[in-house]
Amino acid sequence: MIKLSVNINKIALIRNSRGANNPNVMKAALDCENYGADGITVHPRPDERHIKYSDVFELKSALTTELNVEGNPKEQKFMDLVLAVKPAQVTLVPDVPNQLTSNHGWDTITEKAYLTGVIQTLKNAGIRTSIFVDPNTAMVEGAYQIGSDRIELYTEAFAHHFSQNPELAIAPYLEAAARAQELNLGINAGHDLSLDNLRFFAQQLPACLEVSIGHALVCDALYYGLENTVAMYKRCLN
């Protein structure tokens, strides 16, 4: 079964808008675990506009499922954070500091030398590594060359084209996933996956190990409630 890691950034964003602790990010994370989530994802950014660096330390000490921390290793503060916290997984994402949300994967070929060093540093600390890539076999092969344990397929293009032609939308992901399997790379996926497209994605890519979902899941929770929403997403993955 594909695991569900709930990204709680948007919950932290709401909290930060009033400067107090409502909603309680820790309670939301623990509730997601209790409701069936297999892990929690956070993406701290330098301006701490949603998840704060202190949140990451607190979550690591309290969670019983896996903590996945996303971010750009070119920010030294991020590297210092993950090496201190030692989450189960670090997902490397090529965001710039003021970027609204992730919108492309790494060029694992031109960044090979740099990323190889980062991956080795994380692995030496006992942290599983995943790298955010577009559904491109050359980038998948590059991820293998730099020594990453997993790739995370950037699924915005799939989500955008899904309603028009599901088979065409999934095609590059099937090709990328097949190459990853040949190279013994683990496969994660995330970005714009939702109740509308997740079941199809999971059925087509059963080799996927984990999906990370935040924005859509938190939006759905406003209508369906958090417990029911986590259960609905889990059913899509069964």
**Spatial contact of 25 and 12, defined as CB atoms under 8 Å apart:** yes
Q: Which of 33, 50, 70, 152 is catalytic?
A: 70
Residue with tokens 């996945």: 68
For residue 21, the one-letter residue type is N
Q: How is residue 124 written in tokens?
A: 């030496």
**Within a 10 A sphere around the Cβ of 12, how many other Cβ atoms?**
23
Say whether 43 is catalytic.
yes
3-state secondary structure of 126: coil
The number of residues in the chain equals 238
Q: Which of 43, 50, 152, 210 is catalytic?
A: 43
Which alpha helices (H) appear in 43-87, and where do they start and end?
53-62, 76-85
CA 39 – CA 204 distance, rounded (Å): 22
Say whether 66 is catalytic.
no
CA 129 – CA 115 distance, rounded (Å): 11
Say whether 191 is catalytic.
yes
Q: Which of 33, 50, 152, 191 is catalytic?
A: 191
Supply the angle between the helices 25-34 and 9-16 in degrees, to the nearest 10.
Answer: 150
The dihedral over CA atoms of 213, 218, 220, 226, expressed in degrees to the nearest 10, equals 100
Using only C-alpha atoms, what is the Rg of the chain?
Answer: 17
Q: Which amino acids are annotated catalytic?
A: 43, 70, 191
